[in-house]
Amino acid sequence: MTDKKPPCACACESHDPARRNMLTGVLGFALAPLGASAFAQTAGRSQKPEPGDRLAFMVGDKKDQEITPADLLVGAVPTLAYPLDPATGKVLVSRVNLLTVVKLKAEDIQPSSQKNAADGIVAFSAICTHYGCPITTLHPSQSQIVCNCHGSVFNAADRGVVTTGPATRRLAMLPLAIKDGALVVAGKFDGPLGPPT
């Protein structure tokens, strides 16, 4: 008898080689312990995002560069990001603050998420609440985000609530704002990060 793999909710077969390479790198990073920091912390502050921080690309041609609102498009693959300390210009690389950032249609964003969105842009902890894999894929609905490891789907337009398991807890949302044309962190995560302990 041949074991058949269940189809992926995000149609992974359509991903291009560059996307697969990026996912492979991210998955390797995801296997690190949840609290592990890849680099030394910036003195005097937490590694977690703080109000006033900017966001920086985790991977790609713009790695470690600041993300601007113009970089994010409706229907584009979610952007993986880290906070960027504006005082030092340092990217705060830590697994606990890996973010998934996505731009949604303004009309799709539910009232529960409006206060944490900035011009349709929303950010969540990228650590899946099921098993800790990174959230890297946009669902065909363009308002939900998907964990490729086990297929959990989260509603990015409604505070990251679970729409399809096996995850049972929503993603923590990070409030954003646009100030002087820049995308900035406007508050702290609104819930616990990663899988229940």
Question: For the residues 148-164, what does the mean pLDDT come to?
Answer: 93
Give the model's pLDDT for residue 156. Answer: 95
Question: For the residues 152-168, what does the mean pLDDT come to?
Answer: 93
Share of the chain above pLDDT 70, in %: 77
With b for 16 or more beta-carbon neighbours within 10 A and e for fewer, the 162-190 pattern comes to: bbeeebebbbbbbbbbeeeeebbbbeebb
| pLDDT surpasses 70 at 8 | no
Per-residue confidence band for 78, with pLDDT thresholds at 50, 70 and 90: very high
Mean pLDDT of the chain: 81
Model pTM score:
0.78
Domain spans of the chain?
Answer: 15-31+48-185
Q: How far is CA 159 from the centre of its chain?
A: 13
Interval 106-143: pLDDT, tens: 999 999 899 999 999 999 999 999 988 899 999 999 89
Lowest mean pLDDT among 28-32, 71-75, 155-159: 28-32
* Closest CA relative to residue 68, chosen from 59, 82, 57: 57
Give the model's pLDDT for residue 196. Answer: 85
CA distance 46 to 81: 16
Interval 14-65: pLDDT, tens: 444 444 444 444 444 443 434 333 333 445 567 789 999 999 999 999 999 9
* CATH fold label, 15-31+48-185: Rieske Iron-sulfur Protein (2.102.10)
Torsions phi, psi for 96 (to 5 deg): -70, -15
| pLDDT surpasses 90 at 4 | no
Q: How many CA atoms lie within 13 A of 55 on its CB side?
A: 33
